Amino acid sequence: MNNEDLFKKVVSHCKEYGFVFPSSEIYDGLSAVYDYGQNGVELRNNIRQYWWKAMTQLQSNILGLDAAIFMHPKTWKASGHIDGFSDPMIDNKDSKKRYRADVLLEEHQEKLSAKAHKEVEKARARFGDSFDEAMYRTTNTRVVEYLNAIAHIDNTLKEGLETGNLGMIKALIEELGIVCPVSGTKNWTDVRQFNLMYSTNMSAVESGEENLYLRPETAQGIFVNFINVQKSGRTKIPFGIAQTGKVFRNEIVARQFIMRMKEFEQMELQFFCKPGSELEWYAYWKEQRLKWHLALGTEKNSYRYHDHVKLAHYANAAVDIEFNFPFGFKEVEGIHSRTDFDLSKHEEFSGKKLRYFDPETNESYIPYVVETSIGLDRMFLLTLCAAYQEEAVDGGEVRTVLKLHPALAPVKAAILPLVKKDGLPEMAEKIYNDLRFDFKLYIEDKDSIGKRYRRMDAIGTPFCITIDHDSIANEDVTIRYRDTMEQRRVKVSELRDILFKETGMSALLQKLACI
Ligand code: ATP
């Protein structure tokens, strides 16, 4: 299966099996907004729970928080979002489509880079072992031209954005002859900055004063509560505050399903430390966060770090954890060493001291912050892309199976009486009623057992528990393993322990603590 096919299949699987639906679909949907169905909500809750417990339960110095989505408007002035949280956009007058000017330019760069790569590969084939790639890249006229054009785009875009000279960016789009993918024309509007925050107002009467924003990140709720949590929790530095919650961004280029949404959820940690120790903590969290991903059993090669070369003005180190999605390596999580930028700004704008008094040194200072920020929905997509498999089984049939980590699986076990008579459904019901207090289960007596197994494979249920005629006399059942399809006879009294051991969150957390 090629990557494009895989992605299409994951998207349609999500709809067919109740993981993700387009929002308000009966009204033709809403662009880049999605709803989670019966299986999606369970999977998403489990991913969130894994993150939450890894942060606030495994780490004694991390405390949780749930701040409101609405915040005082000054928050966003202080954080820089009112002035700087924007994307440069451009419209095509013929197709009426809106694009991010920087994305149009980046796509053009990708084309140039592919052309340069093609030239290099042709030369490699021609020269064989004696090929010196570095030399070729600096001497071959065509390759040099492509690489210079890429650098020219980088420099012009950077200068245009930094100086606010958006005319330069439009001129560059025209100079490169970039056309609208829909109309095919170069009939562009000027480039304008477009703030990504959604605004609303608090009072019934609209007035500038009351203008509110839907938060575009959860981090600011943590910064404004830093003193509240530190004092009420009597915590000493270093310590962290963890939060998950909905955020809203008016993304201009929303695409790739739930990869880029207008309403999504973040899981963020702000870790407060002593100035000067931040790079050590940054290295710690960089490693720790990758471990969190790998404990789920995803292949190591599917992940990579992407260190930022160009840093935001407030950061002194930044890295993305990228995953190899079917459309290439893309960011799933960002780790940033944010210095004391945010707390200093909030101190300045609020006039309230946001300092920590260190009883050991008798010093008072604004802590430095290391942030880890992951999108829950992007992690959801990653989890499905990594889990989706089609396998040939006996009889030339193909089964679709989601090889989800059992702790994340929406349903832990299906209870399946072989037939709808002879007391088997009653015994199934009894097992279900006994185990439902501890596990999310599914009980079904319709259709052949083979069909029922396939449906459970498709939603990633790790165990199917089948009750047959021998079960009644022997108090035992057959337990089928999703990944191997192996079947084992076990006593009914063993089921609880097996499910706890194999599907419980604690086994996953223990694994995380050991790697
Ligand atoms: P990108 O470069 O992809 O726009 P970003 O650098 O703006 O992401 P952050 O502001 O660092 O992202 O947000 C942290 C995480 O939130 C990202 O790593 C990603 O997983 C997730 N995220 C960001 N924007 C979106 C979105 N529009 N839809 C879904 N998830 C998102």
CA of 313 to the centre of ligand 1 (A): 19
| Residue 283 predicted with pLDDT over 80 | yes
Mean pLDDT, residues 187-197:
94
Atom of ligand 1 nearest to the CA of 262: 27
Domain 1-69+214-389 has CATH 3.30.930.10: yes
Phi and psi dihedrals of 503, rounded to 5? Answer: -120, -5
Distances (CA, A) of 256 to 31, 328, 483, 488: 11, 12, 28, 41
- Ligand 1 mutation target, pool 36, 266, 286, 371, most atoms within 8 A of CB: 266
CB distance 374 to ligand 1 below 6 Å:
yes
CB distance 264 to ligand 1 below 6 Å:
yes
- The set of residues, in sequence order, having a beta carbon less than 8 Å from that of 408 and lying 6+ positions away, is 43, 46, 47, 50, 296, 383, 460
Q: How many CA atoms lie within 13 A of 253 on its CB side?
A: 13
Q: How many helices (H) and strands (E) does the chain have?
A: 18, 23
| Residue 208 predicted with pLDDT over 80 | no
User: Which of 334-363 are b and which e, b meaning 16 or more Cβ less than 10 Å from the residue's Cβ?
Assistant: bbbbbbbbbbebbbeeeeeebbbeeeeeee
CA of 106 to the centre of ligand 1 (A): 17
Atom of ligand 1 nearest to the CA of 376: 20
Which residue puts its alpha carbon closest to atom 13 of ligand 1?
Answer: 373
In whole angstroms, give the CA distance from residue 156 to residue 172: 8
CB 398 within 8 A of CB 293: no
CB 369 within 8 A of CB 239: no
CA of 375 to the centre of ligand 1 (A): 6
Nearest Cα to Cα of residue 79 among 357, 356, 350, 260 = 350
- Ligand 1 mutation target, pool 378, 383, 385, most atoms within 8 A of CB: 378
CA of 496 to the centre of ligand 1 (A): 39
pLDDT digits (tens, 9 = 90+) for 324-362: 999 999 999 999 999 999 999 999 999 999 999 998 889
Atom of ligand 1 nearest to the CA of 330: 3
pLDDT score for 3: 80
CA of 155 to the centre of ligand 1 (A): 24
CA of 351 to the centre of ligand 1 (A): 31
CB distance 261 to ligand 1 below 6 Å:
yes
pLDDT score for 201: 85
Which residue puts its alpha carbon closest to atom 23 of ligand 1?
Answer: 375
In whole angstroms, give the CA distance from residue 84 to residue 347: 19
Give, for 261, the enclosing helix (H) or strand (E): none
| Residue 203 predicted with pLDDT over 80 | no
Domain boundaries, the chain: 1-69+214-389, 88-192, 393-514
Which residue puts its alpha carbon closest to atom 21 of ligand 1?
Answer: 375
Token pair listed for 48: 């969130």
pLDDT score for 440: 98
What's the pLDDT band for 209 if we cut at 50, 70, 90? Answer: low
Atom of ligand 1 nearest to the CA of 331: 18
CA of 449 to the centre of ligand 1 (A): 43
Average pLDDT, the chain: 94
Would you give the distance in Å from CA 243 to the centre of its chain? 15
| Residue 311 predicted with pLDDT over 80 | yes
Nearest Cα to Cα of residue 265 among 504, 28, 40 = 40
| Residue 438 predicted with pLDDT over 60 | yes
Phi and psi dihedrals of 286, rounded to 5? Answer: -60, -45
pLDDT digits (tens, 9 = 90+) for 16-72: 999 999 999 999 999 999 999 999 999 999 999 999 999 999 999 999 999 999 999
Query: From 3.30.70.1520, 3.40.800.20, 3.40.50.720, 3.40.50.800, which CATH number describes the 393-514 domain?
Result: 3.40.50.800
What's the pLDDT band for 279 if we cut at 50, 70, 90? Answer: very high
In whole angstroms, give the CA distance from residue 153 to residue 147: 10
| Residue 149 predicted with pLDDT over 90 | yes
Atom of ligand 1 nearest to the CA of 268: 14
Token pair listed for 194: 């477009």
Which residue puts its alpha carbon closest to atom 12 of ligand 1?
Answer: 334
In whole angstroms, give the CA distance from residue 43 to residue 411: 9
Share of the chain above pLDDT 70, in %: 98
CB distance 334 to ligand 1 below 6 Å:
yes
CB 406 within 8 A of CB 303: no
Mean pLDDT, residues 366-379:
98
Which residue puts its alpha carbon closest to atom 3 of ligand 1?
Answer: 331
Q: Give the position of tokens 């169905």.
A: 37
Token pair listed for 165: 């000279």
CA of 347 to the centre of ligand 1 (A): 27
Which residue puts its alpha carbon closest to atom 29 of ligand 1?
Answer: 260
If DSSP states are collapsed to H, E and C, what string results for 139-205? HCHHHHHHHHHHHHHHHHHHHHHHHCCHHHHHHHHHHCCCCCCCCCCCCECCCEEEECCCEEECCCC
CB 295 within 8 A of CB 510: no
| Residue 210 predicted with pLDDT over 70 | no
User: Pairing state of beta strands 199-201 and 211-213?
Assistant: antiparallel
pLDDT score for 205: 57
Domain 88-192 has CATH 3.30.40: yes
pLDDT digits (tens, 9 = 90+) for 222-249: 999 999 999 999 999 999 999 999 999 9
Task: Specify the amino acid at residue 289.
Answer: R
pLDDT digits (tens, 9 = 90+) for 381-433: 999 999 999 999 888 889 999 999 999 999 999 999 999 999 999 999 999 99
CA of 59 to the centre of ligand 1 (A): 25
CA of 336 to the centre of ligand 1 (A): 13
Lowest-pLDDT choice from 8-12, 156-160, 307-311:
307-311
CA of 80 to the centre of ligand 1 (A): 17
Atom of ligand 1 nearest to the CA of 260: 28
In whole angstroms, give the CA distance from residue 419 to residue 417: 6
- Ligand 1 mutation target, pool 100, 243, 310, 331, most atoms within 8 A of CB: 331
